[in-house]
Amino acid sequence: MEDCESGSRNGDHDTVKDDELSLIAHDKVQAEKALEEAKSAWDLYHEGKLQESIDSAERAAQFLAERYISRFFPSLVAVDANNRFLFTVSKQLL
């Protein structure tokens, strides 16, 4: 009977491990998107395309904010549906 219990515990541990790996993968994707947007903002700035640069920089900040929110406040998944709100708040904080 103990084998059955330990198997259950390992299953729970695997689920937690899978959830953690999923969060790490999501974090990586968001960080990569933010980096690409930041690079784009820099290039656009040097090309004299200031509005496009600002827009790209704001998208980079949004990706970072989403990464932070999903990592440290996973229970706020419902808030993620309202990305405009998150973007506006993060923009004001930066």
Average per-residue pLDDT in the chain?
A: 76
pLDDT tier at 16, thresholds 50, 70, 90: low
Residue 9 clears pLDDT 60, i.e. is over it: no
Sequence-ordered list of residues with C-beta below 8 angstroms from that of 55, at least 6 positions apart, any chain: none
Dist CA 91 CA 94 (whole Å) = 5
Quote the CA–CA distance of 2 and 14 in Å, as a whole number. Answer: 18
Q: pLDDT value at position 89?
A: 62
What's the predicted TM-score (pTM) here? 0.60
Asked if 41 contacts 60 with a C-beta cutoff of 8 angstroms, the reply is yes
Strand ranges (E), the chain: none
Q: What pLDDT is recorded for position 5? A: 47
Q: Which domain holds residue 57?
A: 2-93
46-89 pLDDT, tens digit each: 999 999 999 999 999 998 888 887 777 666 555 555 666 666 66
Q: Tell me the mean pLDDT in the region 28-57.
A: 94
Please say if the pLDDT value at position 6 is more than 50.
no
- Number of domains the chain contains: 1
What's the pLDDT score for residue 50? 96
